[in-house]
């Protein structure tokens, strides 16, 4: 085959219309109107990767926190350190990083009072990406800082997308090798994401849960290493085999802990705890109640929905009424009662999400 035939498609696609590209969102949290005006003038004409900027403004810590909660796709936050109180900016940053769980947005602290620049420890612990005195930020420097920060966000966004795609492939590969089927992990992750949304979680935290949930059963791959074929593809199990399968939760957690990222740590905890029960009767640690991470308690419900709708061979799937009755009966026993009630309330929507996820998984086979 000639090279010109192999590469004939290159350059043939029309370039996207820059005007149709979504703008980069920049949060400007500052109580000084003149600073916000200067920022609008300096950044208004700026385009990065042919995308314009959309400036979102807040004048207090509370407004800033609400702004980030409402827009999980903010690329850059320009945050004044001293507003209604000396540490107002740090309140915003703490909420974004530690409450909303947003570790992707780039945060730049600006201050007009040099004595209030954060200590190195605070910068490190709160993942502050840069801090500048307002007097040193000319229009040109502000554009430079903004461009660098948004490009860093762009790269993190691409890495996140790649991570998600790899997690899907890894999860489905592990499932096919151990059960001969695939789609469980993606369906569970989709339902968990939907349920977290109904619970009002911040967008960044929901995305982290979805990505981590894809790998909750990674420990199943360890069953292949034993060479015991009874552990896979639905073979009858003796007591020793059942115990070996129970160990997959810990083995998956140990492997995922090696990732060292926020999502990796969450994935490790989900792997370790997704078979725990609210009443303490689960495994491998026998945790109970709120000793189980809320992410794991939510995942347990999403996992049950998928398992009961797409059961192992030999058992009929539940219909909607049977699934609702199961969740009601096990609320306060297997499941967090509040999350179970939320799932029951939104069950039709969760079932629609599940059907869509299963359909998408079948399309990848």
Look up tokens 């992707």; give the residue: 104
Please tell me the distance from the alpha carbon of residue 67 to that of residue 212, in angstroms, as a whole number.
26
**Terminal-to-terminal C-alpha distance of the chain:** 29
The answer to whether position 192 is within a domain reads yes
The answer to whether position 171 is within a domain reads no
Please tell me the distance from the alpha carbon of residue 132 to that of residue 130, in angstroms, as a whole number.
7
- 303 and 348 both lie in a single domain: yes
> Residue 3: which pLDDT band, with cuts at 50, 70 and 90?
very low
> Residue 224: which pLDDT band, with cuts at 50, 70 and 90?
low
Query: What are the tokens at 84?
Result: 């209604």
The answer to whether position 228 is within a domain reads yes
Query: What are the tokens at 34?
Result: 């003149």
- 135 and 215 both lie in a single domain: no
The answer to whether position 199 is within a domain reads yes
The answer to whether position 3 is within a domain reads no
- 33 and 140 both lie in a single domain: yes
- 148 and 297 both lie in a single domain: no
CATH of the domain at 127: 3.40.50.2300
- 209 and 336 both lie in a single domain: yes
Q: Do the Cβ atoms of 91 and 120 come closer than 8 Å? A: no
The answer to whether position 2 is within a domain reads no
For residue 20, pLDDT beyond 70: no
Range(s) of the domain holding residue 102: 18-154
If you average pLDDT over residues 23-27, what whole number do you get? 97
The mean pLDDT of the chain is 84
CATH of the domain at 198: 1.10.3210.10
- 358 and 245 both lie in a single domain: yes
If you average pLDDT over residues 55-84, what whole number do you get? 95
More confident site: 21 or 48: 48
- 128 and 222 both lie in a single domain: no
- Number of domains forming the structure of the chain: 2
Confirm whether pTM is higher than 0.75: no
Instruction: Give the angle subtended at the CA of 55 by the CAs of 52 and 60, to the nearest 5°.
Output: 165
- 326 and 249 both lie in a single domain: yes
- 148 and 217 both lie in a single domain: no
Q: Do the Cβ atoms of 334 and 287 come closer than 8 Å? A: no
Question: pLDDT tens digit string along 273-326?
Answer: 999 999 999 989 999 999 999 999 999 999 999 989 987 665 778 889 999 999
The answer to whether position 27 is within a domain reads yes
Which residue, 214, 242, 223, 210, is CA-closest to 179?
223
Please tell me the distance from the alpha carbon of residue 112 to that of residue 46, in angstroms, as a whole number.
24
Please tell me the distance from the alpha carbon of residue 44 to that of residue 218, in angstroms, as a whole number.
47
The answer to whether position 131 is within a domain reads yes
- 337 and 256 both lie in a single domain: yes
Q: Which of 154, 175, 192 is the last residue of a domain?
A: 154
- 323 and 223 both lie in a single domain: yes
Which residue, 143, 126, 29, is CA-closest to 77?
29
- 134 and 201 both lie in a single domain: no
């Amino acid at each position: 085959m000639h090279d010109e035939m192999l590469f004939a498609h290159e350059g043939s696609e029309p370039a996207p219309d820059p005007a149709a590209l979504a703008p980069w969102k920049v949060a400007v949290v500052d109580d000084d109107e003149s600073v916000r005006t200067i920022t609008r003038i300096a950044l208004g004409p700026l385009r990065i990767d042919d995308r314009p900027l959309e400036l979102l403004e807040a004048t207090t810590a509370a407004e800033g926190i609400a702004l980030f909660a409402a827009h999980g796709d903010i690329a850059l936050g320009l945050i004044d350190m001293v507003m209604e109180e000396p540490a107002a900016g740090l309140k915003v940053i703490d909420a974004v990083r530690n409450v909303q769980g947003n570790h992707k947005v780039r945060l730049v602290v600006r201050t007009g009072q040099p004595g209030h620049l954060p200590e190195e420890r605070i910068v490190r612990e709160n993942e502050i990406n840069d801090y500048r005195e307002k007097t040193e930020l000319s229009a040109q420097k502000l554009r430079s800082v903004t461009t660098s920060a948004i490009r860093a966000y762009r790269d993190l966004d691409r890495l996140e997308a790649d991570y998600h795609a790899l997690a899907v492939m890894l999860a489905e590969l592990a499932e096919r090798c151990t059960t001969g089927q695939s789609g469980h992990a993606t369906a569970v992750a989709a339902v968990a994401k939907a349920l977290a949304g109904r619970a009002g979680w911040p967008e960044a935290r929901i995305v982290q849960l979805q990505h981590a949930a894809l790998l909750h059963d990674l420990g199943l791959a360890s069953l292949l290493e034993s060479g015991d074929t009874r552990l896979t593809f639905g073979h009858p199990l003796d007591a020793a085999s059942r115990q070996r399968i129970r160990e997959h939760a810990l083995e998956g957690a140990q492997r995922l802990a090696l990732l060292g990222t926020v999502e990796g740590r969450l994935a490790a905890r989900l792997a370790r705890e997704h078979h725990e029960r609210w009443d303490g009767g689960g495994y491998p640690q026998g945790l109970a109640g709120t000793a189980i991470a809320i992410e794991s308690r939510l995942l347990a419900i999403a996992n049950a929905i998928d398992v009961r709708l797409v059961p192992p061979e030999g058992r009929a799937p539940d219909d909607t009424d049977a699934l609702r009755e199961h969740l009601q009966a096990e609320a306060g026993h297997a499941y967090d009662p509040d999350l179970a009630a939320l799932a029951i309330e939104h069950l039709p929507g969760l079932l629609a999400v599940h059907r869509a996820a299963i359909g998408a998984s079948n399309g990848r086979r």
